Structure 1
Amino acid sequence: MIKNKEVGVIGLGKFGLSLATALTDLGIKVVGVDINPEYIRRAQDILAQTFEADATDEKALAQIGFKDLERVIVSTGDSMEASILVVLNLQSIGVKNIWVKAVSEAHERVLYKLGVPFVVFPEAFVAFQLAHRLAAPGLHEYFGLGKDVATREIVVDQWAGKTLRELNLTNSYQVQVIAFRQSGESEFHFVPQADRQLVDGDVLVLLGKTEDVIKVKTY
């Protein structure tokens, strides 16, 4: 879990504000940005900091200090163009850890091509989860077995060039890598090979007890 770090949320509509509020409830400082003054008024008593600004303006993001944030979540309504422009601006000022809410499958594919490590498509995700729970009762409960079991996605940075065998995460942290997604791709692969060299931007999915998964350091 992120501790003593600030997270940026760009777009304080229903999804953005709900996410920002949940992060705040977990003790994480959130810096919220939106061009809509009404959204800013609604969020200013909840979040650590709020700014009424146009995130499609690179200079505005730089002035707010977004390059120093641990990670930034982009949730800019239904505008695919605005979302992509915001991502490009964030990348231009040096933000690496960017999470983006996609509004369509085409948007999702473009974001992965741009090198965005985490893309969430809320409507599709909820529909997928519900369909599988209805078709195969117990599937969700299996993955949620035990209150202290969790999965975590990690973006490869300092681990680039190493293999899973060299990292030895099972013995070092008591966690297992159950899937991975290659940089620039949208599909996950399962049962990763122990001797495959990791590439900068790859995403690994870890499974283990919550306390162990949180302890994994990527540096």
Structure 2
Amino acid sequence: MVENRARGNTANAARPGSDAGVLVVGLGRFGASLAATLDELGRDVLAVERDPDLIQTWSGRLPLVEADATNADALVQLGAKDFPIAVVGVGTSLEASVLITANLVDLGTPLIWAKAISAEHGRILQRIGAHHVVYPEHDAGARVAHLVSGRMLDFIELEDGFTIVKMRPPQETHGFTVGESHIRKKYGVTVIGVKPPGQPFEYATESTRIDAEDTLILSGDTVLLEKFARRP
């Protein structure tokens, strides 16, 4: 789940390019995973952490600096102003999370993402100026709940109840084409594509055949997709 700041502010904010540098504050599980992935993707990333043990763990594996980001002067000294994107991965200490986010706002960071561990935490971060607030623990729990409740293999909820899922086809579709199955008419969901085992993904047409071992990619309302995924 991602919450944006007031729409007017977010929509009018300058959006950094896809190669913009990213400052990641906090090397807990969320921050470390994010920083490592950005680094693997070739992005200019700098991780900031004040825990010496975490610094030692990630030393040589990530570009990083040991500093206390709750101190505004420390952020200035490490060159935080040079990064158009910052991610505050600190979540266990609400005070530290708020102070770091406020410091980045004061520095004029164009785009600030911040991790929250509760709705109250998230509202505070938004009020002080975070552009995007994410809830990793909530999102992971919700995603797994959907995956264990049916034949879904993957689940991505976008917004306003619109979702994209990857799943095994119900028995009633085996051996029939998308058109013959009448999936959209019966269940209100759309087959985007079909991927046979060992074959490349192909966008679905009315004549695309569905077999038992195929993987379906579908889109639609979350509730309707859940019902379809529970078909035998």
TM-score by length of structure 2 reads 0.57
Task: Provide the residue aligned with 1:19 in structure 2.
Answer: 34
User: SS in structure 2 opposite 1:46?
Assistant: coil
For structure 1, list consecutive stretches of 5 or more residues without a partner in the other structure.
Answer: 150-219
Determine what percentage of the aligned residue pairs are the same residue. Answer: 37
The secondary structure found in structure 1 opposite 2:65 is: strand
Q: Deviations over 1:65-118 (max 9, x none)?
A: 111212111112400111000000111111121111112221011112223121
Deviation string, structure 1 residues 11-40 (Cα, Å, up to 9, x no partner): 112221111111111111210111112211
Aligned residue identity for 2:72: E
Per-residue deviation, residues 123-161 of structure 1 (Å, max 9, x unmatched) = 111112222344465582761556799xxxxxxxxxxxx
Aligned residue in 1 for 2:25:
10
Q: What is residue 132 of structure 1 aligned with on the other side?
A: 146
Aligned 1:172-183 pairs, distance under 5 A: none
Residues 105 and 129, structure 2, Cα contact 8 Å, conserved in 1 = no
RMSD: 2.8
> Is 1:33 aligned to residue 48 of structure 2?
yes
Equivalence for 1:115:
129
Alignment of 1:183-202 (within 5 A): none
Say if 1:3 and 1:27, in contact at 8 Å, map to a contact too. Answer: no
Of residues 119-128 and 83-92 in structure 1, the stretch that sits farther from structure 2 once superposed is 119-128
Q: Which of 66, 86, 108 lines up with 1:52 in the alignment?
A: 66
**Alignment pair present for 1:143 and 2:164:** yes
Give the SS at the match of 2:155. helix
Give the residue type in structure 2 aligned to 1:41: Q
- Give the Cα–Cα distance (whole angstroms) in 2 for the partners of residues 136 and 112 of structure 1: 35
What stretches of structure 2 of length at least 5 have no aligned partner? 1-15, 157-162, 166-191, 194-200, 204-232
Aligned residues: 149
Q: Which residue of structure 1 aligns with residue 114 of structure 2?
A: 100
Once residues 26 and 148 of structure 1 are traced to their aligned partners in structure 2, the CA distance between those partners, rounded to angstroms, is 26
* Residues 46 and 127 of structure 1: CA distance in aligned 2, closer, same or farther (over 3 Å): same
**Match for residue 207 of structure 1?**
none
